[in-house]
Structure 1
Amino acid sequence: MKVLFLCSNLNNTGGTERVGSIIANNLSDSGYDIFFASLMGGDQPVFPINENIKTLSLFSSPGKALFRTPLIIHRLRQVIKDNDIDVLIVIESMLVLFTLPAVLGLPVKHICWEHFNFNSDLGRKGRRLARQLAARYCDSIVTLTERDKKYWLANTKHNSQITAIANPCPFSVQTSQYNSKSKIVLSVGRLAPQKGFDLLLIAWSEVIKLAPDWKLKIVGDGENKAELSAFILDNNLTSSVELVGKTNNIEEYYNNAAIYCLSSRFEGFPMVLLETLSFGLPVVSFDCDTGPEEVLENTGSILVEANDTHSLSIALAKLIKDESLRESISIKSKAKAIEYQPHAIIEHWKKLLEEL
């Protein structure tokens, strides 16, 4: 079976490119003939790609896609025909606006792989249209969570099959022991409104009164850095909070932390939670759309109402004070992490492809 993946740019460092590469590699290892196309660029993939995967680009340089639409459709259609593609997997619902006309009349199965939650259009109204068209005309929609699948089923006129397949974890389940003596709470992500670090700092200002010897480390960079730094200074948190910035060694921070906290206002599928499971970290998380509820199920980690900073502080304080509870959660977290390893996730993809 010949399968063509399409993304915006395989040279990007984003989560969609990372998990797309993992799934493509695993399908290639399983005997599928894989092609990977980028709308633009793609000549220097950031993430490893198997040697026998054929990469190609519709355009070598960036440009306004709207003005290139007829040419994008033509080039993509030609790629599909020239390579006798059986299945097209679109790693971004917006790209369906190009792929639907490109596959018109061709004997190719069309899968839209959605990476964001249905209730968020990320400021692009075209995404709403693309999702409705995908539900109506694609052969299958792949969501990352069961909750998001329900949103698609309830809010689209769908003729297509809608399947929930979680993303694979990029880390193997770690053999190192959980560091129960650590006094570090860790959070990782872009310093942007979506990630809710402002809410986390409000909660932390309460936590630190109960646990003055604990530290909060936030790893990442972004447009909210100045605002968060000002809050830390104004609320006398400089001795207990560190804005670490970017790192190339995130494993070090997972290994040295006692608790992970996810304070996001919304998610598509929080890859960072998969990573924390593989390191055996207990988690306190907002029950935001979408992902935390499913990823943390049966681990003993704590979910609190979305955006409720008081409940977040109480839950953090509970785990801080209960070392045996943290150790128990750590064991369950690593057990749950096995379900998100690539060898497990790829079986769901193989089943979907064979059913098509």
Structure 2
Amino acid sequence: MGKPRIAFAIWDIGNVGGAQRVIGLVANALCADFEVHIVNLYGYPEKRGPSIPIDPRVTVSYLGKGTMPRLRKTIVQSFNPLRKYLKQNQIDVCLLQTTDMGIIAAPVVLWNRLFGGRNRCKFVFHDHGALAAQLSQKDITTIRMVSARLCDRTVVLTKRSAADYQKFLKIPRRKLAVITNWIDPEINPEDVQADISAKRIIWAGRLSAEKGPLRIPEIAKEIFPNFPDWQWDIFGDGAEREALEKKIGEYGLENQVFLRGKTAHLYEEFPKYSIGTLTSDMEGMPMFLLEATAFSLPCVSFDVVTGPNEIIADGQSGFLVKPFDTPLYARNLQHLMASQELREEFSKRQRLVKENFSMQKIAPLWRRFLSELTR
């Protein structure tokens, strides 16, 4: 009997983002025990391929080429290709990545349930976000509810999210699994530590509204008059870049706040900084904070509903700030900037946090979960 076959369904593994990094890490960790497929609805395989290193034992397939069209068109266009792929490759479990895939694949899930027979593929909705952070967004909440009810199981990142799925969406606990993200051991195999003496701050992510990049100039204008020899580097690109650049200019911050653009080598940057920052409206389990933790980098973040408060111990390994109090954020950041001794203390405690998010601790949860589904 061959290995169980699992597939991660996503719109494009070539995009740069937290979900793509998580999929790559999990796929690579599981391919020794499972036949693993990454199924892309769209993408540019000839131009760029996956945005993260993928084990050669993992099959990466593209059902279409180019950029994903509007959601309704994607649902129609992807129905037959995805359904046929799962059937032809005899996939045992298909993991739908993010809320978009939950609704895009809903017709395939229904078809499979009605006509899949005894050996039908099982579906898992993998929620990379946080329900509580988006409850007011009725469309997203509805997608989550439909996806969780249609699929055989739903994987969430935190215990809080599992409780919210039960409370707000009435999903039974037996249909939920909590499996958090882990820190990629390959990003810092030599255990390099952050340069706590460096007078440099790092922020990295998509320059999109939900990541809160426009808060950076508001915070920076408060801190830099007192710290003229410090700088704040921003890695990433996106729709907010032009507005961010404009704000930096308006506040006269061009000599201290720098837009560094995208980089494929972010891990090489972390050791050059003494403070990491997150300004998001919402998070599931932020990969930026986990990766910063790999380098024992103290961080400051808004205490959004889920994510940061499971990584940062407030006042011990970093600071959590009431959302979205930018003056308070600035005061906490200045407190950390002013004291190398405090940064060193926080950095030492970050090493203890790192142990809770190791691959050795979390990967077995995935193996156990999928093994139970494929019995």
TM-score (structure 2 length as normaliser): 0.84
Give the match's secondary structure for 2:225: helix
How is 1:298-309 mapped onto 2 (pairs within 5 angstroms)?
A: 300-309=317-326
| C-alpha deviation, 1:223, in angstroms | 2.7
Distance in 2, Cα, partners of 1:236 & 1:64: 39
Distance in 2, Cα, partners of 1:318 & 1:172: 28
| C-alpha deviation, 1:274, in angstroms | 0.9
Match of 1:342 among 359, 363, 372: 359
Change (3 A) 1:9 1:123: farther
Change (3 A) 1:91 1:204: same
2:113 paired residue number: 104
2:59 paired residue number: 54
Q: Residue 178 of structure 1 contacts residue 327 of structure 1 at CA under 8 Å; is this kept in 2?
A: no
Change (3 A) 1:130 1:193: closer
Whether 1:310 aligns to 2:313 is: no
Distance in 1, Cα, partners of 2:85 & 2:245: 49
| C-alpha deviation, 1:296, in angstroms | 1.5
**Identity rate, percent:** 28
Whether 1:177 aligns to 2:193 is: yes
Which stretch shows the higher mean deviation, 39-48 or 83-92? 39-48
Distance in 2, Cα, partners of 1:200 & 1:64: 31
Match of 2:288 among 250, 268, 272: 272
Distance in 1, Cα, partners of 2:225 & 2:262: 28
1:39 paired residue number: 41
How is 1:1-356 mapped onto 2 (pairs within 5 angstroms)?
A: 1-29=4-32, 31-41=33-43, 43=45, 44-60=49-65, 66-67=72-73, 69=75, 72-97=78-103, 98=105, 99-105=108-114, 106=116, 107-119=120-132, 127-159=140-172, 161-170=175-184, 171-172=187-188, 175-297=191-313, 300-356=317-373
Q: Residue 217 of structure 2 contacts residue 251 of structure 2 at CA under 8 Å; is this kept in 1?
A: no
Distance in 2, Cα, partners of 1:122 & 1:39: 27
Which ranges of structure 1 fall in alignment gaps of 5 or more residues? none
AA partner of residue 50 (structure 1): D
TM-score (structure 1 length as normaliser): 0.88
Superposition RMSD in Å: 2.7
Give the match's secondary structure for 1:302: strand
Q: Residue 17 of structure 2 contacts residue 206 of structure 2 at CA under 8 Å; is this kept in 1?
A: no
| C-alpha deviation, 1:19, in angstroms | 1.5
| C-alpha deviation, 1:153, in angstroms | 2.0
Change (3 A) 1:34 1:234: closer
Give the match's secondary structure for 1:223: coil
What do residues 18-39 of structure 1 show as CA deviations (whole Å, max 9, x unaligned)?
Answer: 221221111112x112222222
Q: Residue 94 of structure 1 contacts residue 131 of structure 1 at CA under 8 Å; is this kept in 2?
A: no
